[in-house]
Structures are given as structure tokens and as C-alpha cells.
Structure 1
Amino acid sequence: MKPLRPILAALALSLASPAAAQPADDATVVATVNGEAITLGEMRALKAGMGPQAAALPDAALWDMILDQITRQTAVAQAGEGNLTPRDEALLALQRRSLLATIALEAVAEPEPTEEELRAAYDALWGSAGEVTEYSAQHILVETEEAAQAVAAEIEGGKDFGQVAEERSTDSSGPGGGDLGWFTLDMMVAPFAEAVGALEKGEVSAPVESQFGWHVIRLNESRLKEAPAFEEVRDQMAQQVRRERVEAEVQRITGEAEVERTEGLSPDLLGAE
């Protein structure tokens, strides 16, 4: 999100000659390249994108550097303008739309969330805390029931679960001993969730099939989900409020737009050159 614009712009004034003050609005033309104007607004926009390093340069050096960069870019861009392909035109159109969409949504996201909005977001996310159980578990994922039975037999025979996971699991959690961290059952596919919910602490499941393969699961611990203090997650809630504003605005605008799709076009056209 771009920073708020300063209320006052710094002006270089001559105390001896007040009439020498220069106009400072973004539309002020600072140079032309083959008749194409370069504005003060363009220079300010480029400076804003340079980050903190721009502040380390003297004003005169920064001015010359930015103006020189835009001048060269403009001249080269003019040379390329007559050689645009339809693909180039499409890319420019996408970039323009992206910028305009960003401008429209910044106006919605930028205002600071109210206390009421923050509290509502907190309640929506954490209102059920204390009523939801979280589980800490490990699992070993293999491709067949036979492989899962062999894994279960190794563990029943006393082999360490984490070691077997490292050796046998095809899941990305295997190198970490099959550790899945803390999760709620609604985060998992149904057969896996049902198996975890039926386990006691320290118990290992029989092989369980899901769309990913065959699992052997060990429940390490369970606990009631605890809500963080509101002040600890205030910034997180502010981001959430802004995301929800943006999503709501996108839904509103697109819902009101008149969209007509051309029928009969094949998706294969995406791959055609």
C-alpha cells in the first residue's frame, strides 16, 4: 500500500526573491523528449519507488539522476512504440488494468480500521476458541494397504514412529518424523480426521485410506484451542479487515458489471501462438 501523501511539499525558496518559487503540482512539466512531456509527478513516483536509498543523496544529485533516468527511458520507449506486437499491446492493457484496479482498491483498504471492525474480526476468528480441540500428530503415508500394514507391524514391534516415518513415508513430513504440528479436524480430509478423533494420546491407528494413499497415525497430544489476547493480534486483525474490505469491494463491483462471454471458443486457444 502506498504511503499517504505529505500534507505539505517542501519548496526551495529564495528569501531574497520570493517570486522565484517554483510550481510544485504533479502536472508541472520538467522536460520534454521529442515533444513528449515529463512531469514532476513522474519524478516523484519514481523517487517513491526507490526506497530509503534516495534519501541519502543530495537533492540536486537525486533530481539529475531521476530526470536522466526518465529521459532515457522515454527516448527508448518512443523508439519501441512503433514495433509493438499484439502480444505487447495485450501486456500493456493488462498492466494498465492492474494499476487502475490497485488504485480503486487502495481507496477501500487505506482507511484505518475502526475499533468495531477490529473487534468483529477478532470475534469471527477466535470467538469459538475454547470450544474447538486441536491435535498434535505424526503420520506415515504409503501407497498401498500392504505397505501400511508392514509399517504398522514395525511400530507395533517397537520401532520408533519417527524413524519409520523418515525411512518409509512418501509425504513431505517424512524427513521431520511425520510431524504434522497442531491442527483442527476440519483442516484434514474426512477419513484422516475421523481416525485422529478416535485415538487416545500416544495411540497408533490401524492403516487408514484417503485420496492421498494409506496413513498410519500417532496422536501425540490434544488441547482446547486458546484465543490470543486482542492486543497481541491487533495488527493481524487490521490486515484481516482490509482484506475483507477489498474482497467485498471486488465482489460488489464485479457483481454490478455487465459481463458478456464470447461463446464457442476452445480453451485450446490459450496454447496457440
Structure 2
Amino acid sequence: MLKHVTFLGAAAIAALMSTTAQAQDVTADTVVATVGDTEITLGEIILARVALPQEYAQFPNDILFNGLIEQLVQQQLLADALEETTAQIEYTLRNERRAMMSAAVVNQISQDEILEKDIVAAYEARFADAAEILEFRASHLLVETEQEAAAAKARIDDGAAFADVARDVSTGPTGPNGGNLGWFGEGAMVPEFENQIIALEVGGVSAPFQTQFGWHVATLDETRVQPRPTLEELRRQLTAELREAAVAARLEKLAANAIVVTPEDGDFDPNLINSFELLE
């Protein structure tokens, strides 16, 4: 026979929390269901809700509430049916407890030791000695032969707009938009092309030159200093770096005040990590 099961429904919980005074009486320890002598608390329901996949966010709270109670009740019934705790369960619980407790300390470090001023200082330090990086906006036309490139260059020299000539003759994918390559930095283009662009002044047009793709004529439309990422764009990365450094410092301090013994080389066969039969 199944063990006796009782639980408070969503309406009952809502009634408990219907006034400010009553809401103050509801805590994480409030019992919402019992399975035999085992109590299932509101805190357990809340954590089970947090663990649900994102797609469950679309369901109303009353459905989630009752569904989670049913889930935890069923889990408890099955857990009670286990006559003896296995070694695998015990070791898993130890690992889970260790992981959760260490994660709590990491979260505490993040909240207490990583301040806004530290993030700002890290951002400023990152770019304090950083050299300015030049970017180029250029256009080009691509043809098969040097003669075609020379003819196109002659049209431009005679006053034709570079973009118009590129649209007329370029076989490259940028031809339809006048040869516009957009913004790029050093190293983005093949060396033969990059060298030609760097040598130009803004508005200048190159002589025909060859790359592995064919014959080009190029013009430098504009230059700028590469925009630096904003603090907000780097906030997550900087915070993670500061957290990693803070955790490393805390670990070093903790290790210095603890007796830690680890195996020497040869003490254990590394292949033992696959010895699942030891857990049986």
C-alpha cells in the first residue's frame, strides 16, 4: 500500500498569503505536503521551480505549484521504497553538497568583493596603454586582366565616379554596391591588397594591382581609430575575470591555513576513475 499523502493546494497557500500578517507567517519551512512522516516544504517547492527548464515559464503558477507538489510527492514515495541507500547515492550527495557549498562561497565573493569601482578600474587598466588601432573603409573593383583594370582606372582618372565604374565592370561580389568593402582592420585582407590600401591617402585611387583573386583598382574612402568596446559591453567579461582572480586569492589563503594531502605520482592508478564496479 502507498504511504499516506497529504498536501495543501494552491488555493490554500494563496489563502495563507492573502494578508500581510498572514504572509509574514509563511516561510520557506512552511509545510505544503507530507508523505508519511516526511514533510515537503515551500522552500523545496521554490527550489524545484527554479530548476525547471525555461519553457515551463509559460505555465500559470497554480499549474506549476500543483505539478511540483505531485512531482516531489512521487519522488518521496519512490525514495522511501529504497530499502538501502547505495554507495553511488552517498558519494553523489557528497559531491553535490560540496559543489553547492563552494558555489555559495563563489557567489558571496562576487557580491562582497567585486565592486563597481573595481570593474571600472579594470576597464580603464585594460586600455591605459593600449595602442590605437586604425581601421579603413575602402572600395575596389575586380577584373580578370591588367588591361581591364587599366581601362577602369583611366575612366576614374577622367572623372567617372569610382562606384559607377565598379558597378559597370567589377566581377567581385561587391560590384553591385559600388565596390564598397566596409570597415576592416589590419590583417583582414590579403597582404597585397592591404599594402595598397595603407599606402593610399583618403580619396586616393591605386594603380592596377594583382592578388590571387585577379586584378584590382582600389580607393581609400575613410579611416578611423577602431572604437573601443564600452564598459557595458565588457562588463560580463571583466566581472568574470575579477571573480576568477578573487576566487583564486581566496583559495590560496584557505589552502595556506589548511592541511591538504593529495596523492603522489604512482600512489593510484589513474585508470581507477573508470572503476564503476567499486560503487556496487
* Normalised TM-score (structure 1): 0.52
1:18 Cα deviation from its structure 2 partner: 8.7
Query: Could you tell me which of 31, 35, 46 is aligned with 1:44?
Result: 46
Contact residue 17 and residue 26 of structure 2 kept, 8 A: no
State the distance in 1 between where 2:93 and 2:53 align.
25
Which residue is equivalent to 2:122?
Answer: 121
For 2:113 and 2:250, locate their aligned partners in 1 and report how far apart those are by CA, in whole Å: 16
Residues in 1 aligned to 2:63 and 2:131: alpha-carbon distance in whole angstroms: 60
With 38-47 and 23-32 compared, the bigger mean Cα shift is at 23-32
Q: CA deviation at 1:234?
A: 3.2
Structure-2 change in CA distance of 1:246 and 1:262 (3 Å)? closer
Distance change in 2, residues 1:183/1:95 (3 Å)? farther
Deviation at 1:41? Answer: 0.3
CA contact (8 A) 1:130 1:227 kept: no
Q: Are the aligned partners of 1:118 and 1:234 in contact in 2 as well (CA < 8 Å)?
A: yes
Q: CA deviation at 1:101?
A: 0.9
Q: Describe the shift of the 1:81–1:122 C-alpha distance in structure 2 as closer, same or farther (beyond 3 A).
A: farther
SS, match of residue 39 in structure 2: strand
The aligned length equals: 183
CA distance in structure 1 between the aligned counterparts of 2:124 and 2:235, rounded to whole angstroms:
12
Which structure 2 residues correspond to residues 6-155 of structure 1 after superposition, within 5 A?
A: 12=15, 23-50=25-52, 53-80=55-82, 82-84=84-86, 86-110=87-111, 113-130=114-131
Structure 2: gaps spanning 5 or more residues: 1-12, 135-184, 193-224
**Alignment gaps of 5+ in structure 1:** 1-9, 134-181, 185-200, 203-223
Specify the SS of the correspondent of 1:110: helix
Identity over aligned residues, as a percent?
28
TM-fit CA distance, 1:226: 7.6
How far apart, CA to CA, are the structure 2 residues paired with 1:106 and 1:77? 31
Deviation at 1:229, TM superposition (A): 4.1
Which whole-Å CA distance do the structure 2 matches of 1:113 and 1:53 have between them?
A: 32
Output the amino acid matched with 2:122.
A
SS of the aligned residue for 1:44 comes to: helix
> The residue matched to 2:25 in structure 1 has which SS?
coil
Whole-Å separation in 1 of the counterparts to 2:99 and 2:186? 36
- CA RMSD between the two structures: 4.3
- Range 90-99 or range 242-251, more displaced: 242-251
Flag the 1:254–1:80 CA change in 2: closer, same or farther, 3 A. farther
C-alpha separation between the residues in 2 aligned to 1:26 and 1:39? 6
CA gap of 1:89–1:128, structure 2 versus 1, over 3 A, is same
Normalising by structure 2, what TM-score?
0.51
| Structure 1 Cα separation of the partners of residues 65 and 44 of structure 2 | 12
Note closer, same or farther for the CA distance 1:53–1:260 as it changes in structure 2 (3 Å cut). same
Structure-2 separation of matches of 1:247 and 1:120 = 19
Say whether 1:256 aligns with 2:272: no
Q: Which amino acid aligns with 1:243?
A: E
CA distance in 2, matches of 1:19, 1:114: 36
Kept in 2, the 8 Å contact 1:12–1:21? The answer is no
1: distance between equivalents of 2:229 and 2:98? 40
State the shift of 1:73 in Å.
1.0
Matched position secondary structure for 1:80: coil
Cα pair 2:16 2:26 within 8 Å, conserved: no
CA distance in 1, matches of 2:106, 2:130: 32
Shift of the 257–58 alpha-carbon distance from structure 1 to 2, 3 Å rule, reads: same
The structural deviation recorded for 1:230 is 3.7
| Letter in structure 2 aligned against 1:270 | I
